[in-house]
Amino acid sequence: MNPRPHTTPTISCVIPAFNEASNLGAVVPQTLAALQQLSPQAELIVVDDGSTDDTARVMQGLCAAHAQVVHMRLSRNFGKESALTAGLDMARGEVVIQMDADGQHPTSLLPEMLSKWKQGADVVYAVRKAREDQSALQAGLIGLFYKLINWGSHIEIPANAGDFRLMDRQVVNALKAIPERNRFMKGLYAWVGFHSTAIDYEPLPRADGLSKFGMGGSFSLALTGMVAFSTAPLRLLTLGGLLLAAAALGYGGWVVVEYFFWGIKVPGYATLVVGMMFLSGIQLLGLGILAEYVGRIYDEVKRRPSYIVAQCSGQGLPDGQGGC
């Protein structure tokens, strides 16, 4: 890694926010102050992901009070991954930092992140040490997810690394050039490569409100990631099919041996029924897994944009950027 020749980059901070009106009032000024400590040229982009609460009014006040704040309002809720994509597209800095709107990502980490960038890292990502808001079941499932997704894959998606990260302009440009619609950002970060450095952090408790990702949301995101970055489910299917076929062959052979050597006739229909039900279950599961992949292909070929901007506001925007 080569140290950077010039040391005060322009910085953009991207904050996706969905119904975070109660947090933005405190988080935005605090983050902005931390950014200004790092660079005199900093902008803070709040991507309002179709909020239905008071976010628009709060952001209007913040944009009026701080020239560096930009409010980018999406036309509806597109999800965090799309909101981040929108923010990256809008960001102009040589360095881009992504943070959450709920105050869980400590701004005290920013100087360390920037100093790693100055030492030459292209990506500095923060790895959660512990998450108290997660149950043992959730933690176990997440562990299993990363094992599966990284199984036999040539890129390694680091576990427990979230979207709290600093990226060099080169990395942001690489991410922007990816045309994929089903965006699983944690996978895309790993896919684009570059020199990446991890730093540990302890997430703060959520300032106000509840996490937007319940079991359902996390499961759907995990499925998107799995289908987009791994063929492990397909491989498991092939393996399962092979094993079952081998077992059936073995059992068939055994029945023949039983019949000819000991004259035992195979009794009853129970084996048949159980076997049939088991096999149809496996077949339906197989179809379902295939359908997940086909569905994503369908999504991709439709080529719908991953987000739509309704409006941008902010004093620092170049003229004519109101509609972005």
DSSP secondary structure code for residue 122 in this structure:
S
The answer to whether the beta carbons of residues 184 and 224 sit under 8 Å apart is yes
**What is the token pair recorded at 226?**
């799995």
Q: Should residue 79 be labelled a site residue for ligand UDP when binding is judged by CB under 6 A?
A: yes
Q: Should residue 211 be labelled a site residue for ligand UDP when binding is judged by CB under 6 A?
A: yes
Q: Which is nearer to ligand UDP, 92 or 206 (CB)?
A: 206
Q: What is the tally of helices (H) and strands (E) in the chain?
A: 10, 8
Q: Should residue 80 be labelled a site residue for ligand UDP when binding is judged by CB under 6 A?
A: yes
The answer to whether the beta carbons of residues 28 and 44 sit under 8 Å apart is yes
Q: Which is nearer to ligand UDP, 20 or 168 (CB)?
A: 20
- Write the DSSP assignment of 162-201 as a string of letters: EEEEEEEHHHHHHHHT---SS--HHHHHHHH---EEEEEE
Q: How far is the CB of 81 from ligand UDP (least distance, A)?
A: 8
The answer to whether the beta carbons of residues 17 and 90 sit under 8 Å apart is no
Q: Is 289 exposed, middle or buried (0-12, 13-18, 19+ CB in 10 A)?
A: middle
Q: Which of residues 80-109 bind Mg ion (CB under 5 A)?
A: 100, 102, 104
Q: Which is nearer to ligand UDP, 77 or 311 (CB)?
A: 77
Q: How far is the CB of 97 from Mg ion (least distance, A)?
A: 16
Q: Should residue 73 be labelled a site residue for ligand UDP when binding is judged by CB under 6 A?
A: no
From the list ligand UDP, Mg ion, none, partner contacted by residue 213 (C-beta under 5 to 8 A by kind): ligand UDP
Q: How far is the CB of 79 from Mg ion (least distance, A)?
A: 14
**What is the token pair recorded at 236?**
């498991």
Euclidean distance between CA atoms 258 and 86, whole angstroms: 67
Helix axis angle for 136-150 and 232-257, nearest 10°, is 90
Binding-site size for ligand UDP (CB under 6 A) equals: 17
Q: Should residue 102 be labelled a site residue for ligand UDP when binding is judged by CB under 6 A?
A: yes
Q: Should residue 49 be labelled a site residue for ligand UDP when binding is judged by CB under 6 A?
A: yes
Site for Mg ion, rule CB under 5 A: 100, 102, 104
Site for ligand UDP, rule CB under 6 A: 16-18, 20, 49, 77, 79-80, 83, 100-102, 104, 206, 211-213
